[in-house]
Chain A
Amino acid sequence: MKHKTFFWFFLPTASAMLLFIALPIFSIVIQSLFTPHDAVIIVTENCDPFGCKQETTIDQEATRDLRKSEPLGKFVGLEIYKDRGHLAINEVKEIWIESNNFTEFKKNIGNLPFYRAMAFTLTFTFTVTPLMLVFGFIIALAVNSLHHNLKGLTIFFSLLPMIVSPLIGSLVLFWMIDSRGIIGEALQYVFEDPDLSLKASTGLTWVMLIVYGVWHAAPFSFVVFYAGLQTLPMDTIESAKIDGASRLQQVWYVVIPHLMPLITFVALMQLMDNFRVFEPIVGFSAEAHAQSLSWFIFNDLGGETRLLSSAATSSVLTIIGVSILLFPVLIRTWRDFNEKSAK
């Protein structure tokens, strides 16, 4: 392709990427380096139905002038990244010095919001991603071997978890696993423990979220793998059969290598999605047990006093986290690409 043609082909994509990806990222990076101005506080007499009293309020006029002269706020550099709500550099140092052994260090680190969130997020990401790949693959194989009259209906039902919006799906399950809900009561009966509550224990809450995550995401990998299975080279399968390969060996030596690019693609997408785990935490009201960076952003933006710089910082940290996670996969893809073009 000529350079000029390429330029005009690529221009719409490039401008969309600039507008919707590069600019927002640039914006949050900038916002994470600034905080609001020091509040100008005055004591005024305030009256409400219960009487009048002297109270502290913000002097709007003085603050307005400050905001006008420097609309971005106060430049603080990486201060927000280092504070307790994020990387907590000083706190981690202190804990490192004060802890006698690694177990104690781990326990105390878990008390800091960022590391507590990371513990859950990474556990979630690295259990849900492989599990959903395996389940999606098994479902795809099973559906593929069905009689073609049954396929349409089965595919529809297998896709249901993905069709239901995540928040609704998790709310439905939330009420089912309630200690007075159908699954909650059933579990109490099975384990003969009337006090058993999935929502009251951190471990069980994590299990519940992971099960939900797999349930919700498996249809995605199923549908991709199922599409991949339609392109299987039948002659290779047949020659494998003639060579006496069992079903398992066919899957292992022919099907999986054939689907490898798709597996990489689904794994990439899911690593990214699962790292940003958010809806199930809200839907299951699980914030007491499990938090993620995305939940922090939501929480910072939602409180009575919004913490915008903190939310921007958490967003940047999310991007960095996703990049680190995807790095090995990207490197691999790059190498494969180079090998292919070298041939």
Chain B
Amino acid sequence: MIKNIMRLVVASAIAVFAAPIFADGHGCKISARVSIVGNEFPAIHAVADGAKVCKGSEVKANLTADHQKINVAGMSGNPAEYTSAIIANSSIVALMNNDVIRPLDDLVAKHGKGLKKNQLITINGKVMAVAFMANAQHLVYRSDILEKAGISAPKTYEEMLAGAKIIKDKGLMDYPLGGAYKAGWNLAQEFTNMYIGHGGEFFKSGSAEVSINNAKGVATLEMLKALSAYMNPDFLTHDSNATSAEWKAGNVAMMNMWGSRMGPLMDPEQSTPTVVKTTTLGDPMTVGGGSTPATTLWWDGWTVAKNISDAEAEATFIAMMNGINPKRLDDKMMPLAVWLIEGFKPGPANVGVAAAARMNAIPYPMLPYQGLLHSALGSEIVDFMQGKEDAATALADVEAAYTAAAKEKGFLN
């Protein structure tokens, strides 16, 4: 199943030579307003910029790390404020649950020339989103520091821990590890990665009943805490942006980080010269002797709002198609992500995500109640990370918090 992405990488390489004819950016004409809401990182900016090229009507984009706090509300009204939300496999669930996005089958048939089948996110037979990039977290390390410490790139989290100890003992760095461990969404994501790496299942099969308070859950928490001992003591306030800043400043030797964040780390304009030269991408790590990498596969894509006129929906579709027009994949845009667009050539900043796909990493679950568990994890495992309670209590708290929320939302009785 995940071989698809590899096939796609190869297919994309071939496609470069057989570049099909697409509508030019200058030829993009729209006749109704377009308003985009989405996350804030370079690849998303590139797509939104492509949509903004369109002439004929206004194209607005509100790109913010808080996009999930506003997209449902901004699309619930009639007419909706946002005509398109750029989302990922986790956040499409909220839009689906609230019934604010429209099926795209007719628009795909009319304007979707050049989209590949695996770009179409199909739910119950209907196209609900168009994916344009793949993402995953994976290892990134500083080759110079690892060389000085005399260690090789870790394949497992256990090796990472051992390596961190050596780097610290040799006095090379005070806090050799990094990671987006900010209390809330980020920390919950790290738990999700590590729990999947341990082979854990989040729910009793076929139900919304949570089951993470088990040996695998405890092992997951213990590993997260062991890693955090080698991180900047402020780690519970560090999101991906803050962690990237630490990396660019040369304070970190190894971390598990998003593929979409690699470009800036290796950009001489944004980072320090030694760091740029020695930043090296690795495969996602495994943990606890498992073979499934402790990471999740993600896609990012765009949707079209339900509560807007058909003209606006069509304009939005055309503008967003222009955002992911293969002709826009130039030297600047190419390294920003693992694009699912025709003509993508994987570069040095993309090998980590490709490795995640090759190693059969598991996609982040697209379940209606996964978000509730994610929120519960984000707030309830914090006490454990601070050493205020033991792992089993923390997991019991997560289960209790999730159950209360799932009852309220009508997933459990």
Q: Which residues of A contact B (CB under 8 A)?
A: 35-39, 41-53, 55-58, 60, 63-64, 74, 80, 83-85, 91, 111, 113, 178-180, 194-195, 197, 199-200, 202, 284-289, 299, 301-307, 309-310
Q: A35-B410, A39-B411, A305-B93 are in contact. Are A299 and B340 (CB under 8 A)?
A: no
Can you list 12 pairs linking A and B with CB atoms under 8 Å apart? Answer: A35-B408, A44-B124, A46-B366, A47-B120, A49-B118, A49-B119, A50-B2, A57-B124, A200-B235, A285-B182, A305-B368, A306-B98
Interface-side segment among B78-86, B106-114, B379-387: B379-387
Interface-side segment among B23-31, B325-333, B399-407: B399-407
Residue of B8, B93, B411 with most partner-chain A CB within 10 A: B411
Q: Are B409 and A39 in contact (CB under 8 A)?
A: yes
Sample of 13 more A-B contacts, CB < 8 Å, known A43-B206, A57-B368, A199-B236: A35-B407, A36-B410, A38-B410, A44-B125, A49-B340, A50-B5, A50-B299, A51-B2, A288-B236, A303-B68, A304-B93, A305-B93, A305-B369
Q: Are A63 and B99 in contact (CB under 8 A)?
A: yes
- Chain A residues with CB below 8 A from B99, complex form: 60, 63-64
Closest to B69 in A: A302
Q: Which of B340-371 contact A (CB under 8 A)?
A: 340, 357, 363, 365-371
Q: Are A310 and B405 in contact (CB under 8 A)?
A: yes
Kindly provide the distance from the CB of A118 to the nearest chain B CB, expressed in whole angstroms.
16
- Chain B residues with CB below 8 A from A41, complex form: 208, 368, 411
Instruction: Tell whether B90 is near chain A: CB-to-CB under 8 Å.
Output: yes
Kindly provide the distance from the CB of A297 to the nearest chain B CB, expressed in whole angstroms.
12
Q: Are B233 and A46 in contact (CB under 8 A)?
A: no
Q: A47-B122, A50-B363, A307-B405 are in contact. Are A111 and B397 (CB under 8 A)?
A: yes
Per the bound structure, the CA–CA distance linking A199 and B386 in Å amounts to: 11
- Chain A residues with CB below 8 A from B255, complex form: none
Per the bound structure, the CA–CA distance linking A63 and B411 in Å amounts to: 12
Instruction: Tell whether B94 is near chain A: CB-to-CB under 8 Å.
Output: yes
Q: Are B233 and A51 in contact (CB under 8 A)?
A: no
Q: Are A84 and B400 in contact (CB under 8 A)?
A: yes
Q: Are B123 and A46 in contact (CB under 8 A)?
A: yes
Per the bound structure, the CA–CA distance linking A46 and B183 in Å amounts to: 31
Q: A47-B122, A57-B96 are in contact. Are A113 and B233 (CB under 8 A)?
A: no
Per the bound structure, the CA–CA distance linking A194 and B207 in Å amounts to: 49
Closest to B117 in A: A47
Q: Are A307 and B363 in contact (CB under 8 A)?
A: no
Interface size class of B (residues with CB under 8 A): 35 or more
Q: Which residues of B contact A (CB under 8 A)?
A: 1-2, 4-5, 8, 66, 68-69, 72-73, 89-91, 93-94, 96-99, 118-125, 131, 134, 174, 182-184, 206, 208, 232-237, 251, 297, 299, 340, 357, 363, 365-372, 374-375, 379, 382-383, 385-386, 389, 393, 397, 400-401, 403-405, 407-411, 413
Q: Which 4 A-B pairs have the closest CB atoms?
A: A51-B1, A304-B371, A44-B124, A288-B183
Kindly provide the distance from the CB of A332 to the nearest chain B CB, expressed in whole angstroms.
39
- Chain B residues with CB below 8 A from A39, complex form: 97, 368, 409-411
Q: Are A85 and B401 in contact (CB under 8 A)?
A: yes
Per the bound structure, the CA–CA distance linking A180 and B375 in Å amounts to: 29
Closest to B232 in A: A179
Closest to A309 in B: B408
- Chain B residues with CB below 8 A from A83, complex form: 404, 407-408
Q: Are A301 and B408 in contact (CB under 8 A)?
A: no
- Chain A residues with CB below 8 A from B297, complex form: 50
Contact of B374 among A35, A58, A64, A304 (CB under 8 A): A304
Per the bound structure, the CA–CA distance linking A133 and B78 in Å amounts to: 47
Q: A44-B123, A56-B367, A57-B368 are in contact. Are A305 and B94 (CB under 8 A)?
A: yes
Residue of A56, A63, A83, A289 with most partner-chain B CB within 10 A: A56
Contact of A179 among B93, B234, B385, B407 (CB under 8 A): B234
Kindly provide the distance from the CB of A117 to the nearest chain B CB, expressed in whole angstroms.
11
Per the bound structure, the CA–CA distance linking A85 and B372 in Å amounts to: 13
Per the bound structure, the CA–CA distance linking A170 and B386 in Å amounts to: 23
Q: Are B236 and A302 in contact (CB under 8 A)?
A: no
Kindly provide the distance from the CB of B387 to the nearest chain A CB, expressed in whole angstroms.
11
Kindly provide the distance from the CB of A137 to the nearest chain B CB, expressed in whole angstroms.
35
- Chain A residues with CB below 8 A from B174, complex form: 194
Residue of A113, A179, A302, A305 with most partner-chain B CB within 10 A: A305
- Chain A residues with CB below 8 A from B340, complex form: 49
Kindly provide the distance from the CB of A89 to the nearest chain B CB, expressed in whole angstroms.
12
Closest to A91 in B: B400
Contact of B382 among A194, A195, A288 (CB under 8 A): A288
Q: A39-B411, A83-B408 are in contact. Are A287 and B4 (CB under 8 A)?
A: no
Kindly provide the distance from the CB of B117 to the nearest chain A CB, expressed in whole angstroms.
8
- Chain A residues with CB below 8 A from B1, complex form: 50-53
Per the bound structure, the CA–CA distance linking A60 and B134 in Å amounts to: 27
- Chain A residues with CB below 8 A from B389, complex form: 111
- Chain A residues with CB below 8 A from B411, complex form: 39, 41
Residue of A37, A74, A200 with most partner-chain B CB within 10 A: A200
Q: Are A48 and B363 in contact (CB under 8 A)?
A: yes
- Chain B residues with CB below 8 A from A85, complex form: 401, 404-405
Q: Are B124 and A46 in contact (CB under 8 A)?
A: yes
Closest to B119 in A: A49
Kindly provide the distance from the CB of A135 to the nearest chain B CB, expressed in whole angstroms.
28
- Chain B residues with CB below 8 A from A44, complex form: 123-125
Closest to A46 in B: B123
